[in-house]
Structure 1
C-alpha cells in the first residue's frame, strides 16, 4: 500500500473524527436539561443572558454559561429569637420562623449576597416594630393578626430580592421571671375579685328572693283577711236580712248559736278544765238551747 495514500486517508478520517467530536461537544454544551425543582441563570460575557426553566433548554455553546443553579423549593429559615418591648414597656422574647421560596432567581443572584441572613434581619426589625405598637395583652390575644401583619410587611421588604414569603410563624412569646410573677399576682387578684363579686351577687339574690317571699306572704295574708272580711260582711248581711224578715227572734237565734259554739270550744280544750259561770249565764244558755231546739 502506498504510504502517501495511507497518510491521506488517516488525515481525512482524523478530520472527520475531530469534526464529529466537535459536533458532540457543541450539542452537549448547547443543550441543558434543568430539573423540575431548579432554575438556571445563564450569563454571556459576564452579563445576565437568560433564566432557564425546568426541562430541555438550548443555549449558545462557549458563549453562554450557566453560572447559578437556584433551587425553587420552599425553604425554612432557622428559628430566630429576638427581644422586643411592647407599648406598655414589657420586655418579651419572640421566637419566629419564616418560610420562603425564590421566584425570580436573577434578582436573588444579583441583588443580595446572603438571602437567609437578609430575611432574618428584616424579620427581626419588623417584629420589634410591630410589637412596639401593641400592649402585652394584644400580643397574646391577637397573635394571628400579628403574624399576618408581619408576613405582609416582610413580603413588601423582600420583593426586590425575587422572594415570595409563604409563611411566617410566631412560635412563642416568652416573658422574664419578674413579669411572670407580676402577671401571676394580677391573675390571682382578678380571681379573688370575681369570687367576691359572685358571692355578693349571691347574697343580693338571696335578699331579693327573701323580699319576694315576704311580699308574697303579705299579699296572701291580705287576701285571706279580705276574704274573711267579705265572709263576715256576707254573714252580717244575712243576719240583717233575717232580722228584717223575722224580727228579733232571728237575732236571738244567732246570739244563741254563738254562745253554744263558744261553750263547745271551751269544752274541747285539752286537759282538765273547770268553768265557773254565773247563774244568769246558765239561764242564758238554757234559753239558747231552747231556741236552737225550737229553731231545729
Structure 2
C-alpha cells in the first residue's frame, strides 16, 4: 500500500500534465486524436484526453523574418549579379501549415530564390538598381499565390544588397565619374553662357544710357546756344535802336562824324604799329571823302525815316487825291 500511493500520485500528475494545456498568446497548437487532425488550440487554458490526444505541431502567429540566402542571378544582358534579401511572412492557417507542406519555411525560401532569378533574368543590369520596388512586388505576388496552400501569408520581400562583379562595378564607377564630369562641364558652359549674356546685356544697357545722356546733353547745349544767340540778337537790336535814337538827338550827327574819324585814325595807327612800312593815303582828302560819304548815307537814312511819317500824314489828310 505504501508503494502504490506514490505510483498513483505520479500517474495523476502525468494525467493532469497531459490533460491540461496552456497556449500562449499569438500561438496555435495543432491537436491530433489517434493520429488524425482533431483541432487547433486557441490561446489560454485547454483540456485534452490523455494518451488519446497529442500535440502534433506548435505554430507562432507572429510576423516572422526569414533571411533568404544570397544567390547569383544572371540579368538580361548576361551579367552576373549577387542578390541578398529578406522575407517577412506569417502563419494564417495552422492546419494547412502543418499538413500542407513538410517544411513550409524551406519551401518559401526556395520559391523566393527561384522567383527572384526569374524576375531579374527579364531585366538589364542598370534597371535592377532602379526597379527594386518592382522586383520586391513581383516576388511577393508569386510567393503569396503559392503560399496559400501552405497556410502562410507572405507580407513583403526586401532586397538587402545587389553586388555586381568587380570588373562591372569598376566600369560602373567609371561611367558615373564620366557622367558627373559631363554634368560639370555642361554646368560650367551654361555658367559661361549666362555670364556672356549678362555682360552683353549690361553693355547694351550702358550704351543706351550713355547715348541717351549724350542726346540730352546735345539737346541742352543746342537749347543753350539758341537762347544765347537770341539773347545776343535782342541785345544787338536794342543797342542799334538806342544808337539810332541817340543820332536823332541834337548834336548826334556831329558825334557820329567824330567817332568815324577816330576809328579811321585808329585804323591807320594800328597799321603803322604792326608793319615796318608806313601806309598813308595818297592825299588827306581821301579820309575826308570817306567821312563825308558816311555822313551823307546817315543823312539820307535820317531823311527817309522823317519823310515816311510826313507822307503817311499827308495821305491821311482829307481832300488829297491822286489820279492816274
**Which is greater in Rg?**
2
Partner residue of 1:187?
Answer: 176
Residues 231, 120 of structure 1: alpha-carbon distance in 2 compared, 3 angstrom cutoff: same
Aligned partner of 1:198 in structure 2 is: 187
Whether 2:224 is the aligned partner of 1:238: answer no
1:78-126 per-residue CA deviation (whole Å, 9 max, x = no partner) reads: 4411222344554311101223332322111211112222111111122
> What is the CA–CA distance in structure 2 between the aligned matches of 1:20 and 1:198, rounded to whole Å?
90
> Aligned partners of 1:214 and 1:249: how far apart in 2?
52
Q: 1:68 aligns with which of 51, 57, 77?
A: 57
CA distance in 1, matches of 2:175, 2:8: 87
Query: Residue 174 in 1 paired to residue 163 in 2?
Result: yes
Contact preservation (8 Å) 1:40, 1:53: yes
Q: Deviations along 1:43-90, whole A, 9 cap, x unmatched?
A: 234321111122222334444333233344544434411222344554
Partner of 1:128: 117
Q: Spell out the pairing of 1:277-296 with structure 2 (5 A cutoff).
A: none
Does structure 1 retain, via aligned residues, the 8 Å contact 2:28–2:41?
yes
Structure 2 length as normaliser, TM-score? 0.62
Aligned to 1:163: 152
- CA deviation map 1:14-38 (0-9, x unaligned): 9xx9999988776554433334464
1:114 aligns with 2:120: no
Q: 1:105 aligns with which of 94, 116, 121?
A: 94
**CA deviation after TM superposition for structure 1 residue 166, in Å:** 4.3
Q: Compared with structure 1, are the counterparts of its residues 248 and 217 closer, same or farther at alpha carbon in structure 2 (3 Å cutoff)? A: farther
5+ unaligned residues in a row in structure 1: which ranges?
A: 1-9, 251-278, 284-296
Task: Specify every segment of 5 or more residues in structure 2 that has no aligned partner in the other structure, as ranges.
Answer: 240-269, 275-324
Measure, in 2, the Cα distance between the counterparts of 1:23 and 1:181. 73
C-alpha distance after superposition, 1:133-155 (max 9, x if no partner): 44444432443454344334422
